[in-house]
Amino acid sequence: MSWVDRLRARETDFRRAPSAHNTQPWTLDYRADEIVIGTDPARALPGSDPHGRDLALGLGAFTEACLIVAADAGLSVGCDLRDRRRIRLVPAANRYVTPFTAADVAARRVARGAYTSGKVVVESVPGLDAGLVHVPSRALARDLAAADRWLFGTAAPARELREWLRLNPADPRYHQDGLTDRALGLNRFEARVLGGALRAYPMMSRLGGPALLAASGRGLLRYDGSVWVLTAREADPRQAGRRLLRTWLTLARHGLAAHPLSQLIDCPATAARLAGRVGAVPLAVFRVGRPVREPVRSARLAPSAPGSPR
Ligand SMILES: Cc1cc2nc3c(=O)[nH]c(=O)nc-3n(C[C@H](O)[C@H](O)[C@H](O)COP(=O)(O)O)c2cc1C
């Protein structure tokens, strides 16, 4: 069996990589001696990710997951990022050196519920890459409310959110992709309100819906907690995506979880304030802490069957 086939047999493992709105936009072209990772335009988020920042981060995180799973399988695989549009997994002289395993990749998940009180400063977590900045959660509470109002009040991101929400367990896509009511921590009533409000767009926007929807996240940062900002250090944001996954896996090793709050950098006004606060370009921003409850496991598309294009 070639290394390509052996890694392909582990596709379910590296598909646990995170992606914005859980779109899983990666395409995989399994060739004789390389695997080409591209993206599916039908799974892009042009409205909420107009500059492709999240797409690049997601691709980088996916690549890191592939390298970790390959190393775990005893395969010597590296990645070639010279082409801006695709990433190639190629044979390497040595196994990728990483402290993480396929089990770490599989266990990682976003935790959107409550965290126990207490700050987590970057210096208290050993093994992290550079480029992370701590901000006390309360300092961003007002900006999060503003960013949420922007998110729910701006047509294109609101439409994409509606498209990728999976609020009904009877939806055939419920176990495949997108953001489920459970993953978002919504009860049935909240799920109905959110679904109805987004369906009623743009009328709900004129009736003050964005402010009402944004109110539901108002308490999220009003506690003695921490937000971390991953800042740009590399010319290629896909390298930052690799760093993002390593950060989340390192946190998990210490019993800590992450909850991205990308709206803070999607909304132009709050993005500018955050950049000023951290003195760098913010690429990802997430709450960090110890979850009170076990986070939900998100859905994934089935791996591609050998012989079928992806
Ligand atoms: C670049 C990027 C941005 C993300 N932004 C958000 C976000 O703003 N809010 C959120 O709740 N989750 C965000 N996520 C997390 C995804 O929604 C999550 O990875 C996906 O739903 C799969 O869930 P899992 O990571 O728990 O497996 C982001 C993930 C990535 C890679």
Any atom of ligand 1 within 6 Å of the Cβ of 267: no
Any atom of ligand 1 within 6 Å of the Cβ of 287: no
- Tell me how far apart the alpha carbons of residues 65 and 49 are, in angstroms, rounded to a whole number: 22
Q: Whose CA is nearest to atom 12 of ligand 1?
A: 260
Any atom of ligand 1 within 6 Å of the Cβ of 247: no
Q: Which amino acid is at 61?
A: A
Any atom of ligand 1 within 6 Å of the Cβ of 250: no
Please give the pLDDT value at position 58: 98
For the chain, residues with pLDDT lower than 70 are: 203-218, 307-310
Four-CA torsion 49, 50, 53, 56, nearest 10 degrees? 90
User: CB neighbours of 272 closer than 8 A, spacing ≥ 6?
Assistant: none
CATH superfamily of 122-289: NADH Oxidase (3.40.109.10)
Q: Cα-atom radius of gyration of the chain, to the nearest Å?
A: 19
Tokens 């859905």 found at: 299
Any atom of ligand 1 within 6 Å of the Cβ of 20: yes
Which ranges in the chain belong to alpha helices (H)?
A: 3-8, 11-14, 53-72, 102-107, 141-153, 155-164, 188-199, 203-206, 209-215, 237-253, 263-266, 268-278
Q: Which amino acid is at 233?
A: R
Q: Whose CA is nearest to atom 6 of ligand 1?
A: 260
Domains 3-107 and 122-289 share a fold: yes
CB distance 20 to 49 below 8 Å:
yes
Residue extents of the structural domains in the chain: 3-107, 122-289
Q: Which CATH architecture has domain 3-107?
A: 3-Layer(aba) Sandwich (3.40)
Q: How many CA atoms lie within 13 A of 253 on its CB side?
A: 16
CB distance 11 to 49 below 8 Å:
no
CA–centroid distance, residue 269 to ligand 1 (Å): 22
Per residue in 230-247, pLDDT (tens digit) is: 999 999 999 999 999 999
